[in-house]
Structure 1
Amino acid sequence: MSKKTQISRRAALGALGLGGGALLLDGLLGLRHARADVTDPDNAPLLVMCEFANGWDTLYCLDPRNHQDFNEPAGGIFTGFDMVTDVPTKNVIEETGGTGLVKPVGSEVAFGPTMSKLAREHFQDLCVVRGVNMGTLTHEVGRRYFLTGKFPRGLAASGSSLETWWAAASNAFDAHEIPNLVAGGAETYNEGLTPLASGLQVPSYNEMLQVLRPLNASVALDGKVEQAAAKFHQTNSCVHRQLDAGGQLKTHLSAWGSAQSLANGGLWKHFDFKSNPPAGSQLEKLYQAFSVDPTNPAAALAGKPRGQAALAAQALVNRISQVVLLRLVNVTDAHFDDDWPSNHPARQRSGFDAVSELITYLQNTEDKNGKSFWDRTTLLCFSEFARTPRINQQGGRDHHLASACLVAGHGIRGNQVIGATKDTNYDGRPINVATGAPDDEMGTIIKPSDVHATLLRAAGLPYDHISNQEPKLIQAMLANP
């Protein structure tokens, strides 16, 4: 059964080794590693997943229509751009001459008005995937389907979430104290993989700060206990070698070292988003990338998509995490007119603005090999499904089976659209996986498993865990098919 993993500081340290035999026991019970293809941790592929929870309106973002052609409320598709009350989004619609389509010079993709900043700054990196069949109108099912690439068992997730599999398959645990970081309330699953790949869940950077701060001396382990534990972990006896026949002891010892770093190290300082950082410091550069007022950073970061994106940025560039899953924003379950034309576009826009700033920061920050972090980062933005193309009787939009997602970064060919939806009813169209173009007669309907397999292939990682889903590689998405 899939297990949702939520770890407090105390539980995290226990799972990482301070809890004694718990991790060792997990290994002896038969938890397996994914096949490891990565040997150099400084070249390990990075992953950022950004969830726009509660079902996004893709007419505003990834799959828009020209409002001048689709402006009849009784039509098959109605953009509703003239009903938007969010001022920045309204301004973008006006700037486009009322069409609502954002298409920068050189872009092959027309984006919706909530994506104006991201489109204008990074269109060349972005690959839009349209017509993804989610197979459900239920929030929990759609969310867990996209997280794992497998359709859930009832409401229960089936299999491990993508970021967990990515961390396990890379096998770069020695280089990352928290290989899999999950923030903002996102769900994470580990089914049969090493516990080292499980996600550490924190609500925001403030809680991350608290998780990593050294323990108060009054509640720390007794010095004699620490000495005895250290002596045990340094011993290399025949018993240790026998226990390590399947690699379980090696996993336990690695976890012990990670636990020591978490409990006693200075990692917390990377998430101390304090006011007025020193000139030229990494924190000042972070604030500049995320448009943060250095005199009052909490105003831009606390409880905001920017705060979640800044958390991801710090975890990645400081080699703390290899994969990050963010519930970046809740876009509201927009069934009514009191949240669809106002809250929904505003929240979408704030999420995509944060994504744009995260890409910029990763592009401008070099890793130990002197390369941009963005060069080995893959980005995925998703939601559990889309919204209906027509307005309901309450003045909002309901749930729709066809959705879209945004992929970018390492191994992905940008500045293109994969797939499409019909102009009559907004249903997804089959595609030719080699070209990405719609093919209504011989094409393939896109599923989340196809997206997962293609992203893993782009990163050089296996995807045999979803082989029973018969995933199709979307070759057109790959920079090197």
Structure 2
Amino acid sequence: MKKNRHDENCSQGCAHGRRTFLKATAGFMGSTLLGGLPFRAFAQAAEMAPADRCFVFVYFNGGWDQLLAFDPRDPTEFTADRASETKILPGYDQINDTRFEARPLIPAELPGVGRSNIDFGPAVGTELARHYDLMTVVRGINMNTLGHEVGYRYFLTGKMPIGSAARGSSTATEIVGQMKPRVPIASISYNVESYNDRYGGYANALRVSRRDDLILTLKGSADALDSELEKQLLDFRGQPVNCEQAAYGARGVGTTYSNSQEQMRLIQSKGLDKSFDFLVGANQPHSAEMAVIRTKYNLTSANDVNGERGRAATVATALKKGIAQCVTINLTGGLDTHFGSQLTQANNQRRGFDALAMLVKDLRESDHPAGGTFMDHTTIMVFSEFSRTPLINSSGGRDHHLSNSALLMGAGIKHNFVFGRSGDIGMAPGTFDLRNGASDPNGENILPEHVIATVLASAGLDYSITRVEPLRPILA
């Protein structure tokens, strides 16, 4: 995986700005940025209008405990006395923190909240649970792996990796490849891998490892690029043309690099970096706008901006400003907890879920120029590479477990709905008639590719690349 790493010890940041600029440019090579459009058409199209349909893919890093999140159990039924029988121990009483309930959260019991068909584990928290009316929870997904890299890449692409090597394109790449949105940067991948195995460079994600990388990429550098790639390209100028050099010519990497470079400079000329400068001082350009964002996401320091809440604000800004159509983001981590994990998992998940709740609230309250709110035009998928075991190990933690669940929200998705379930013995993945969601001992497992096919189908896109049918009861 290639990452843009910020050199925190660089006093000027110029060299890093050039490296980030080059990496961003190289990430788009192979075609023009915007749907294969000619450069002039691209320049006319980059008017910063939000995409009519937006997508957010939210990754919780490390393998989440689903008893704390989207597949809870009643602790009065699944007691410690019955754990040898059920192979399930919720362990809510071991969290030992008054911020967390000792039982599943039912939104219907919250003041001012309507009737929910979904119950949530204590880590989800009331802020996200209040948005149950936008959600479908998919339970009992069979990951067919206990490996971090394999499960992670499986959910990114909807294809089981070969060994640990990813196979196929990322879902965001597939969406951009089909829809060819007229936005400056169609897809942003924030500290998450991205793959493209069948589309031109226009479908590639701009990959950044932190917000500073995104700002540096959009801002660029006033100095000339001094990259090795550019030097190699320049070396071919004025030289006799041979077969090798022709590969860098009119139909080769030289032209596509030049196109990408010019398009990146156009993007940089729009000052998009200022949209993400959340801590800008008073009396500076965009200061009033940034103050509103700071208030919405409770951003008071650089740590906040680089943490979960700042990442959520980055996603909202990219969509609402019309900068991107798809954002894939590593929202929170620290979930690979095999030792004393109950409170650690609860705290780390809660930070992610609270940030997600802020994002959803922002999108629900923001009007989309095509009508309705941004949430009416946005589909969100929340996932992790697998879950944790339903029994607590001898070290007070949980290990890797095959069964998983996912959250879908927003446009094209049925709301206030649960599809699938895990077993009441050991939370084993269930088998279902996938046409209607009914439990069926002779049925099929729900797999990540079913979830990916459903996301694609929710926007009317071709899902045949997944080689499965979508979960049609989930589709709005």
TM-score range, shorter chain: 0.7 to 0.9
Query: What one-letter code is carried by the residue in structure 2 that aligns with 1:446?
Result: I
Partners in 2 of 1:378 and 1:249 — Cα distance? Answer: 37
Partners in 2 of 1:219 and 1:15 — Cα distance? Answer: 11
What's the offset of the Cα at 1:331? 3.5
CA contact (8 A) 1:118 1:355 kept: no
Query: What one-letter code is carried by the residue in structure 2 that aligns with 1:267?
Result: L
Per the alignment, residue 306 of structure 1 pairs with: 309
Query: What one-letter code is carried by the residue in structure 2 that aligns with 1:405?
Result: A
Per the alignment, residue 54 of structure 2 pairs with: 46
Partners in 2 of 1:277 and 1:87 — Cα distance? Answer: 38
CA contact (8 A) 2:434 2:444 kept: yes
Per the alignment, residue 187 of structure 1 pairs with: 193
Query: What one-letter code is carried by the residue in structure 1 that aligns with 2:449?
Result: S
Does 1:356 find its partner at 2:322?
no
Partners in 1 of 2:2 and 2:183 — Cα distance? Answer: 19
SS of the residue aligned with 2:312?
Answer: helix
Change (3 A) 1:150 1:277: farther
Partners in 2 of 1:382 and 1:458 — Cα distance? Answer: 17
Per the alignment, residue 238 of structure 1 pairs with: none
Partners in 1 of 2:380 and 2:354 — Cα distance? Answer: 14
Q: 2:264 aligns with which of 253, 259, 265?
A: 259
Query: What one-letter code is carried by the residue in structure 2 that aligns with 1:384?
Result: E
SS of the residue aligned with 1:336?
Answer: coil
| Cα-Cα RMSD | 3.2
Aligned sequence identity (%): 31
Change (3 A) 1:413 1:257: farther
Does 1:324 find its partner at 2:319?
no
SS of the residue aligned with 1:327?
Answer: strand
Partners in 2 of 1:203 and 1:15 — Cα distance? Answer: 12
Per the alignment, residue 231 of structure 1 pairs with: none
Pairs within 5 Å for 1:39-438: 42-72=50-80, 73-74=83-84, 75-89=86-100, 92-93=101-102, 99-104=103-108, 105-172=114-181, 175-183=182-190, 185-217=191-223, 255-274=260-279, 281-292=288-299, 296-302=300-306, 304-337=307-340, 340-438=341-439
Partners in 1 of 2:414 and 2:351 — Cα distance? Answer: 25
What's the offset of the Cα at 1:147? 0.6
Query: What one-letter code is carried by the residue in structure 2 that aligns with 1:283?
Result: M
What's the offset of the Cα at 1:271? 0.8
Does 1:458 find its partner at 2:458?
yes
What's the offset of the Cα at 1:88? 1.8
Partners in 1 of 2:55 and 2:259 — Cα distance? Answer: 22
CA contact (8 A) 1:5 1:190 kept: no
Query: What one-letter code is carried by the residue in structure 1 that aligns with 2:65?
Result: D
Q: TM-score, normalised by structure 1?
A: 0.80
Partners in 2 of 1:109 and 1:190 — Cα distance? Answer: 35
Change (3 A) 1:86 1:140: farther
Change (3 A) 1:362 1:277: farther
SS of the residue aligned with 1:341?
Answer: helix
Query: What one-letter code is carried by the residue in structure 1 that aligns with 2:411?
Result: H
Partners in 1 of 2:297 and 2:135 — Cα distance? Answer: 19
Partners in 2 of 1:149 and 1:327 — Cα distance? Answer: 17
Per the alignment, residue 232 of structure 2 pairs with: none
Partners in 1 of 2:70 and 2:55 — Cα distance? Answer: 21
Does 1:444 find its partner at 2:444?
yes
CA offset digits 1:26-45 (Å, max 9, x no partner): 359xxx98xxxxx9975542
Per the alignment, residue 237 of structure 1 pairs with: none
Partners in 2 of 1:170 and 1:249 — Cα distance? Answer: 27
Partners in 1 of 2:200 and 2:23 — Cα distance? Answer: 11
What's the offset of the Cα at 1:382? 0.3
Per the alignment, residue 236 of structure 2 pairs with: none
Of the structure 1 ranges 131-140 and 204-213, higher mean CA displacement relative to structure 2 is found in 204-213
Partners in 2 of 1:23 and 1:265 — Cα distance? Answer: 18
What's the offset of the Cα at 1:115? 1.1
Change (3 A) 1:435 1:451: same
Q: Where does the alignment leave 5 or more consecutive residues of structure 2 unmatched?
A: 6-16, 37-44, 109-113, 228-249
Change (3 A) 1:140 1:266: same
SS of the residue aligned with 2:355?
Answer: helix
Aligned length: 424
Change (3 A) 1:251 1:418: farther
Partners in 2 of 1:7 and 1:44 — Cα distance? Answer: 29
What's the offset of the Cα at 1:14? 4.4
Change (3 A) 1:255 1:280: closer
Partners in 1 of 2:28 and 2:132 — Cα distance? Answer: 44
CA offset digits 1:138-167 (Å, max 9, x no partner): 111111111110000111000111111111
What's the offset of the Cα at 1:374? 1.3
Change (3 A) 1:6 1:124: same
What's the offset of the Cα at 1:11? 5.8
CA contact (8 A) 2:28 2:206 kept: no
What's the offset of the Cα at 1:216? 3.4
SS of the residue aligned with 2:424?
Answer: coil
Partners in 1 of 2:470 and 2:223 — Cα distance? Answer: 53
Per the alignment, residue 475 of structure 1 pairs with: 472
SS of the residue aligned with 1:47?
Answer: strand
Moved segments of 4+, more than 6 Å: 218-221, 248-254
Q: TM-score, normalised by structure 2?
A: 0.81
Q: Where does the alignment leave 5 or more consecutive residues of structure 1 unmatched?
A: 34-38, 94-98, 222-242
Query: What one-letter code is carried by the residue in structure 2 that aligns with 1:287?
Result: R
Change (3 A) 1:214 1:264: farther
Partners in 2 of 1:274 and 1:203 — Cα distance? Answer: 19
Per the alignment, residue 96 of structure 1 pairs with: none
